[in-house]
Amino acid sequence: MIIVRGLKMRHESVKNYCLGIESTADDFSVGIVTFDGRILANVINAYVSESGGIHPREAAQHHSQVAEEVVAQALKEAKISSDQIDLVAFSQGPGLGPCLRTGATVARAIAAYLKIPLVGVNHCVAHIEIGKLTTGIRDPVTLYVSGGNTIVAAFDAGRYRVFGETLDIAVGNCFDVFAREAGYRQKEGLPFGAIIERLATKGQTYISLPYSVKGMDMSFSGLLTAILHLLRKGEHPIEDLCYSLQETVFSMLTEVTERALAHTEKPGILLTGGVAANKRLQSMLKTVAEEHNTKFCVVPKQYALDNGAMIAWTGILAYKNGLTLPIEQSFVRLKWRLDEVEVPWVKT
């Protein structure tokens, strides 16, 4: 494995640095975090395809091509040498098989070569833990909204419990498909969701769309079909379509988050995932938090997107609780749900 070229071995009793590898989908990222929670590096290398969609094997190929360079860049940013790493963490799931396997292979190679422990991290748990670390919020209701996930979760009895989730596609995915169909292409650094957000600010007329909250779960595929139908009919300005899409989707998310908050009586709301960057969603959740007299925190963008720092930090929490993973058992878990994971480090 080329990645271990130039890595040096070291053994010391004081544990200080964890290197975390994120590779669940289109990003390959390496973060370095100290055991007391200082983020020293967080290098993200995104795979962007021509079409804007993700082809798992192409993304995995991208990850293996950039892995060595991203690890080297993270070490440089953290100003440490490879022989100072004490622990390697990797995103074990959920995610796309080929992408997860590439990250796992890099992590195993580093752990084996440096003779240091390996920890497998649940990607969704990591989104919550880095949010708590970077915002300082304690025991929140978390809304995690990205291209692949739409989850409302809160801690209870040893695990993060899922209070509500999508029954079909994720919110980010719904936005991305709509924007692609509308003929937009991802410009440098501007995701589809951000293009929709920009257009929505100029929308003036609300067009009624299917609002689908079932119990505490949500469905977005019917809404997507309906808005694609309206788009093809060409009777409404794109600005009004984007405005109506955002208002409907975010009202659903806010309703479920508010109900989880009222039920659990948690002391705040944490918003994370790529869609968390959206100002309209932020303002709706902020209003809910104010009405319930609780805190509202948004995870800073570089830690709300898929990133290696969140894997490194969650790896440290797991390691401190004795949760290491022997290499021979470090298989990836494509459908590893958030509520299957014991989180013994969380105390309320």
Which residues would be at the binding site for Fe ion (CB under 5 A)? 146, 306
| Beta carbon of residue 337, minimum distance to ligand ATP (angstroms, whole number) | 14
Distance CA 298, CA 187 (A): 24
**Residue 140 touching ligand ATP (CB under 6 A):** no
Among Fe ion, ligand ATP, none, partner that 194 touches (CB below 5 to 8 angstroms by kind)? ligand ATP
- The DSSP code for 190 is B
Site string for ligand ATP, 179-218 (x = CB under 6 A): ------------xxxx--x---------------------
| Beta carbon of residue 15, minimum distance to ligand ATP (angstroms, whole number) | 28
Q: How many CB atoms lie within 10 A of CB 55?
A: 16
Span near ligand ATP by CB under 6 A; candidates 101-109, 169-177, 282-290, 330-338: 169-177
Among ligand ATP, Fe ion, none, partner that 309 touches (CB below 5 to 8 angstroms by kind)? none
The structure tokens 């609300």 sit at 206
Distance CA 38, CA 32 (A): 9
Distance CA 130, CA 339 (A): 17
Residues in the chain: 348
Closest C-alpha among 22, 17, 24 to residue 335 = 24
3 state SS of 295: strand
**Interface pick for ligand ATP out of 257, 306, 310, 338 (rule CB under 6 A):** 306
**Residue 149 touching ligand ATP (CB under 6 A):** yes
Angle, in degrees to the nearest 10, between helices 123-135 and 308-320: 90
| Beta carbon of residue 283, minimum distance to ligand ATP (angstroms, whole number) | 12
Site residues (vs ligand ATP, CB under 6 A):
24-26, 146-149, 172, 175-176, 191-194, 197, 273-275, 277-278, 305-306
